[in-house]
Chains A and B, each alone.
Chain A
Amino acid sequence: MLNVLMLGIGQCGNRILDAVNREAFGGSSRLSKYYSRQKFPSRVETLAINTAINDLKELRFTAAKDRLHVPNLHGVGANRGIGKQGFWENREMIMEEIERRGDFDIAFVMTSASGGTGSSFTPLVVHELKERYKKITVIPVMVLPFREEGSIYLQNAAFSMRDIMEVESDGIILVDNQYLKRLSGDIKTAYDRINEMVAERLLFLIESLDSEMLSVTDLGDFKTVMRGGLGMGTLGFYESDKKTTSLTSAIEGSIKPTGLLYPADVYEDAARAMIIIQGSKEYLEVDEITKAVEKLSTKIGQVFKGIVIKKGRPKVLSVFTLSQVPDLEMLYAQAAQAIQDEKSKKTRAKKQLDDAFAYIEDLEEVY
């Protein structure tokens, strides 16, 4: 059995973690926590970490003991410098809280790349985990901001992505709010949808890594996939509807742009991939799966496949890493521009202020 640690840091990370916990209750009902019991595929420990106590209070499906407030900070106001400092000051307390939960084979650290707390804590937490748990596989799940959210968020995203690439993680899963914006016009609903999608896919992934599959994929295979390319990738998902139960179309569906969490042309950009098919036995035609996967392999290269027999219509999860991330480059360009703008805005403002102060130069207060 896999020992899985799921950390949600910052508001975004907390909320995705809450979605994971909600998913584990098996219901969409808000009251499910009162009558149901969480069912995780493996031993899963969840922990929400935040500097803003109000963000922790907002959570609904995460047990109180699984919410860790980093004291003396009421949010870092998107300032990654303050965030980092806060982590260092509370490092032992945070890590002890994690270590109290026992040994882990894999950790998912979920955060927004653009906030203050999450984006500054995550690279440091990843580093600490790697230091303290020798054999752990650490997968950061980074949520990229809406591009119009402002220059500070863009800037944070750019620097935090660089930080996370620098620490030795085992591969990053990207989630792009901007790309998933299409799901709903209303931001709140969009967040919930995105969080739900991420939660669903991560639990699916954990379940398939821990199952006795027909065609075996294990943690090692997953690590191989995640280490491929740039060491960052995303997740795709497809669930057959009543009419189309064709496995080939389900597998193709899972790598179509509509099923992804981050915009990518899988056939062009993917470095390595893993396709996990789940469903009732009667749907699972091994030959068909093999054919479809082989077809993918010719385009992508290494494709692992896993088959999980579980009651229900076929569901397919695709995990892949990318050899090129044009969208991220664009984000950096935007970020650079934003930083530039921010700088000139600042100097202009400073100059304006200096000019204003010039009026009272050499004057004294008179009463």
Chain B
Amino acid sequence: MRRIYLVLIAIMLLAIPFAPMVAAASEADEEVEEETTIRDFSLRVDEGVRIGDYRVELISVISRVDGLIEVKVWKRVSTFEDWRVMEILRDANFDEGADRGGLTITVIEIFDEDTVRMRAKYRSSYGYPQKYITERGMAPKNLPELEVTTALDRKDVSVGDEVKVTITVNNIGNATARDVAVQDSPPLPAFRYVAGYPPKIKNSLEPGESDVAVYSMVAATEGDVTIPATVARYADSKSRVSSASSQPQSVTIKPKRKPDLVLLVEPPQPISYGGRGTVNVTVKNQGDASAYMVEVKSNLKSVGDGLEVVEGNLDRSFLEIPAGGSESYSTTIEGSRSGSRIIDLLATFQADGAILQKETTFEVMVLERELRFLYFLPIVPVLILAAWLFRRYKEYKY
């Protein structure tokens, strides 16, 4: 007997949460006149709105003039699905209409081939309509799509350098692109345009087809320059115009390239009196452009009294010393007078029509005669003695 009570109590306890549901269900059945809401929204083809479990999708604008569109309305987790052609400003009930828990929709305005404005009446409890893109809208369409790349043939640009710009337009879509036109940025003041500008591209591009335009320009002023994106405009079969653009690029234009000669002189060790020494000269181009008509000249003749070139020549000329290149030569000189002399070496060269000069000095020491002189010292007293003896001999020679 007791067991029966316990089971009953348990059943009762379990039954409590369900009680309101049972009550509500019974209420709905009883109160047909529930509160409704009216909302306006615009839709594009392949767009839809969520209203509660209902979905309203615009399939197409059939005729703007006639005010006819095609919609698809369906309900989530149910079998309800309704394709219907709607006429502008005429209410249409779906799933028995708003009054019976369904939807009542009216087309208010048709903007163009894509877009319409609608009004929906539904139970307030369904909330606000929410937009989404339909599966059809997400499915690929037969449209052209262009990809634009701009490439510069060099990164390291100095004033005076020629830069080749290659614009590649590639149709990566699946329809023909028509009326293709590239628009490069208006000519940049930092460059002088030499050839191929403005760039031109084939008028139409089949899917997978690409075309290339090349133009060249010369860097004119130094500084940081941003080369803006190149834009390609094109139209699809329905003459709808689209555009694609490349990435903008930034370039730093360095100062003009110049040769820079340095004269490296390895002067001789101090030259002994009457001895010889070697002068090694290296003319090095440390700059980034060739030096032309290089002439090295020394003032040895005017300073070098007692200093003579006996082999080679300190004065040289070279037709060209390329950037980073160097020329070396050596000269043997002989010192016939002691002392220290400062010798100037002057390199004259041409670059871009300008005449440039570079100078250096080096010292040549010729040692004193001293040491040799010492050899003669012991002879002096001998000579004096001999002179004395000779004088005496003469004095007594009759």
List the interface of chain A (C-beta within 8 A of B): 33-34, 56-57, 59-65, 67
Contact = CB atoms under 8 A, between A and B. Distances in A.
B390 to A, nearest CB: 10
B394 A64 contact: yes
B2 interface: no
Contacts of B393: 34
B382 to A, nearest CB: 15
B396 A61 contact: yes
B395 interface: yes
A287 B397 CA distance: 50
Interface string B223-262: 0000000000000000000000000000000000000000
B141 interface: no
B392 interface: yes
Contact of A34 (B389, B397, B398): B389
Residue of A34, A65, A67 most packed against chain B (CB within 10 A): A34
B392 A33 contact: yes
Contacts of A33: 392, 396
12 contacts: A33-B396, A34-B392, A34-B393, A57-B398, A60-B396, A61-B396, A62-B396, A63-B395, A64-B394, A64-B396, A64-B398, A67-B398
A67 B393 CA distance: 15
Contacts of B389: 34
Interface of B: 389, 392-398
Contacts of A67: 398
A189 B379 CA distance: 41
Contact of B395 (A56, A57, A64): A64
Nearest to B395: A63
A61 B397 CA distance: 10
Contacts of B396: 33, 60-64
Residue of B389, B394, B398 most packed against chain A (CB within 10 A): B398
Contacts, number: 20
Nearest to A61: B396
B145 to A, nearest CB: 126
B68 to A, nearest CB: 156
A65 B395 CA distance: 8
A242 to B, nearest CB: 36
A51 to B, nearest CB: 15
B398 A59 contact: yes
A147 to B, nearest CB: 33
Contacts of B395: 63-65
A18 to B, nearest CB: 10
Contacts of A59: 398
A60 B392 CA distance: 11
A64 B392 contact: no
Nearest to B389: A34
Pairs of residues from A and B, 10 with the lowest C-beta to C-beta distance, nearest first = A64-B398, A67-B398, A34-B392, A63-B395, A57-B398, A34-B389, A56-B398, A33-B396, A64-B397, A63-B396
Contacts of A57: 398
Nearest to A59: B398
A322 to B, nearest CB: 38
Residue of A60, A64, A65, A67 most packed against chain B (CB within 10 A): A64
B23 to A, nearest CB: 165
B293 to A, nearest CB: 76
Given A59-B398, A61-B396, A64-B398, 5 more contacts: A33-B392, A34-B393, A56-B398, A57-B398, A64-B395
B392 to A, nearest CB: 5
A56 B389 CA distance: 21
A146 to B, nearest CB: 28
Nearest to B392: A34
Contacts of A60: 396
A61 B389 CA distance: 14
